A = this chain, B = another copy of it.
Amino acid sequence: MDIQNYMQALGQQARTASRALSRAGTNVKNHALRTIATEIRAAADTLKNQNELDLQAGRAKGLDAALLDRLELTDARIEGMAEGLEQIAALPDPVGEISNMNYRPSGIQLGQMRVPLGVIGIIYESRPNVTADAAGLCLKSGNATILRGGSEAINSNKAVAACIHRGLERVGLPTAAVQVVETIDRAAVGELITMTDYVDVIVPRGGKSLIERVSSDARVPVIKHLDGICHVYLDAAADLDMAEEIAFNAKCHRYGVCNAMETLLVDSAIAGEILPRLQQRYAAESVELRGCELTQIILTDINAATDEDWDTEYLAPILSIRIVDGLDEAMDHIHQHSSGHTETIVTEDYARSRRFLAEIDSSSVMVNASTRFADGFEYGLGAEIGISTDKIHARGPVGLEGLTSQKWIVLGSGQIRS
């Protein structure tokens, strides 16, 4: 069978299964999630054996250590998959929620009902645990899923899918509710992201180049996350102790995450006092500082920031620092260089905090809190399928609700238009 026919068949089966899933009650979906968790725990040895095949092939191909690490299914990661599914089972079911029911002058009663999107395509790279996480979130939100993992994880992903299918079968849900693309042919991705008849949304998870490629070629709508070039602005009216803690935490709590600060903006009024204090803190963590010209006058022993630095997501212990002349200059810098992920102002000034909240056009805008809070768990979503830097549909951390849509419902008693 050629790739196109193969993918179209997956799509048709997913569409059919999505109708059964959209009808499935909360208890059935939760029971399925817990049963899949049980199947995953029971299959730990098989999962590790299949994963070992991928690891061997990866080593033979010369994959680097970081990639092999992401690929590996340890006992802890297998338990993590099972626990993740149980946590999703414990979340409230977003499907069927009815809101804003009101009578209109015509006598119809109008409201909105939350419903699954339908079929969701997930494209990801080497982590096989994404197979269980993504399938679980889609299942709970009533969506069928087509999963396309990295070719280097194909045996692991198939083994996880087998657990999922056993769980679905045991509770009487169609196994086509979760399908793994079982070919490593890249043409499968091209087909998946253009099958508008069968796929309602694509969620790419992985590096920037994967996401850019998928977004640029997709005809199906994409929920995507590109860069996380996050800023902290220390305003003239900042509490300096708070400013120091937030600027330190936003950079040093974890480096390789999208909600870490990459650029620190400091008001010139407080730069002389706060920057040397911060330099000490960062030095203790071996963070490399790159400063604008003014910053280099205060911190004489640091590197210069180039134009490129302002547009770089380091994901590393590197920080660019710029001294600005007030809120407007800070916001201009952010509008020019931010990726629209998360920005924080540290200030005790009421009017400037309101302006920053209103005018910064990012998925999360904060006052006096570390950028590291921009996260599905911290926001109480329970789990997240990703963090969207789009403005359309889902913005910021995307949980179960981001995998649903709202349709209008009308309850009448025979109303006609006159």
Please give the residue numbers on chain A whose beta carbons come within 8 Å of chain B beta carbons, in ascending order.
19, 22-23, 96, 102, 104, 106, 108, 110, 113, 115, 117-118, 200-201, 216, 219, 221, 239, 242, 245-246, 248-250, 253, 335, 357-359, 361-370, 372-374, 378-380, 390-393, 395-397, 405-417
- The CA-CA distance from A22 to B361 in the complex, in Å, is 9
* Chain B residue contacts of A363, Cβ below 8 A: 407-408
* Contacting residue for A365 out of B104, B358, B373, B408, CB 8 A: B408
Complex interface: chain B residues within 8 A of A96 (CB): 358
Contact A414 B242 (CB under 8 A): yes
Query: Is B253's CB under 8 angstroms from A373's CB?
Result: no
A365 touches B19 (CB 8 A): no
A19 vs B221: C-alpha distance when bound (angstroms): 26
**Which B residues are in CB contact (< 8 Å) with A118?**
361, 391
Known: A23-B358, A393-B393, A412-B367. A104 touches B378 (CB 8 A): yes
Q: Which 4 A-B pairs have the closest CB atoms?
A: A369-B412, A249-B416, A366-B410, A372-B417
With contact pairs A359-B22, A378-B106 given, residues A365 and B407 touching in the complex (Cβ less than 8 Å):
yes
Q: In the bound complex, what is the Cα–Cα distance between A364 and B112 (angstroms)?
A: 9
Do A395 and B370 have beta carbons less than 8 Å apart?
Answer: no
User: Given contacts A391-B405, A395-B407, are A417 and B373 in contact (CB under 8 A)?
Assistant: yes
Distance to closest chain B CB from A362 (angstroms): 7
Distance in angstroms between the alpha carbons of A417 and B407 in the assembled complex? 37
Asked whether, in the complex, the Cβ of B335 is within 8 Å of the Cβ of A246, the reply is: no
Contact A414 B380 (CB under 8 A): no
For A416, give its contact among B102, B246, B335, B407 (CB under 8 Å).
B246
Residue contact B115 to A361, C-beta cutoff 8 Å: yes
A19 CA to B358 CA, complexed, in Å:
11
Listed A/B pairs (18) with beta-carbon separation below 8 Å: A22-B361, A108-B373, A110-B379, A113-B358, A117-B392, A118-B361, A201-B391, A216-B219, A245-B416, A249-B416, A250-B416, A253-B417, A367-B412, A368-B415, A370-B412, A370-B415, A395-B408, A396-B407
